[in-house]
Structure 1
Amino acid sequence: MERVLLCTVNQRTRIVMSDDEVTAFVRESRKLQLGTINPDGTPHMVTMFYGLVEGKIAFWTYGKAQKTLNIQRDPRVSCLIEAGDEYSDLRGVLMYGVARRIDDPEGILDVGMNVARRMAGMPDAEELLTEYVAYTGRKRVAFMVEQSRVISWDHRKLAIPA
């Protein structure tokens, strides 16, 4: 029994991403699964495009959205970013943290532009995106996630001899 546990622990340590790998994976990805807590305690999961502001996950949404109401009541969130279709290709980062609300128009516009650039795959499309972001931002709030815990995995590392 101990042998199986040791093997599992060693395999788990083999697939953990380094800090640099986590940073690169989060930077290269565009969507995440956002988990908030509903009033009855059940999870509320949604797919969100996200941006990076000061190296932190940032997203925006409508002020009356369920996720906004949930975060106002309980700011604890989880953010899951994953890739891969086959078991041997699975990679992911799961971040736990607290979502800090950004209400000021300039902050909302900054997060909105950051998200829109990544969402559109056009990092330098200021002119094309500014009007859209400014218009839709009137009814939106933004959040930045202060992470407290990060879990990662990269199953591609299993193909590399230990």
Structure 2
Amino acid sequence: MATTQRRGRRIMMTPGELDTFLAAERTCRVATVSADGAPHVSALWFAWDGTSLWLYSVTRSKRWAELRRDPRIAVVVDAGEQYGELRGVELTGTARFVGEAPRTGEPCPELDAPERLFARKIFGLEEMVHDGRHAWLRLTPDAVVSWDFRKLGQPQPRP
């Protein structure tokens, strides 16, 4: 991940906390840019491999069409109900299309690991079931910003 968080360092997640959080959460919100420049936000399931966020999107969706035209993307994963429980991550960068679209299961070594992760996390299966309607997007973020408000109540180490 490229950029270092400048603000809110006191509540930012460590790399280990970030990996644990993204491995546990299932749903993210994906922001894309419409043809008229307006933002478009939609929810999706995802898998995190420690470096990239893998999104399995319907290829006939507005999101897919927008990313084909303009691959800039922002994704938010968050959790918590009460103020002191809020935590999350914003990842931004460029979406990359991986494998055939729609995905039918053609051999694609780059998808072996993410498909196993996704199938286990989302469906509780050992291998991916392809429906011929979805395909893969990969976001290797240029910037990551995280927050964990649970840290506000904890004593902070001195710099």
TM-score, scaled to structure 1: 0.78
The offset of 1:44, in angstroms, is 1.0
The offset of 1:92, in angstroms, is 0.5
Aligned to 1:62: 58
- 1:71-82 → structure 2 map (5 Å cutoff): 71-82=67-78
TM-score, scaled to structure 2: 0.80
Q: Which has the higher helix share?
A: 1
C-alpha separation between the residues in 2 aligned to 1:96 and 1:68? 16
Aligned to 2:103: none
C-alpha separation between the residues in 1 aligned to 2:30 and 2:118? 15
Aligned to 1:151: 145
**Identity score, percent:** 27
C-alpha separation between the residues in 2 aligned to 1:76 and 1:88? 32
Alignment length (residue pairs):
144
Paired residue for 2:36, among 32, 35, 40? 40
- 1:6-155 → structure 2 map (5 Å cutoff): 12-53=8-49, 55-104=51-100, 105-107=106-108, 110=112, 111-120=114-123, 122=124, 125-126=125-126, 130=128, 133-134=129-130, 136=131, 138-155=132-149
Equivalent pair of 2:99/2:111 in contact (CA under 8 Å): no
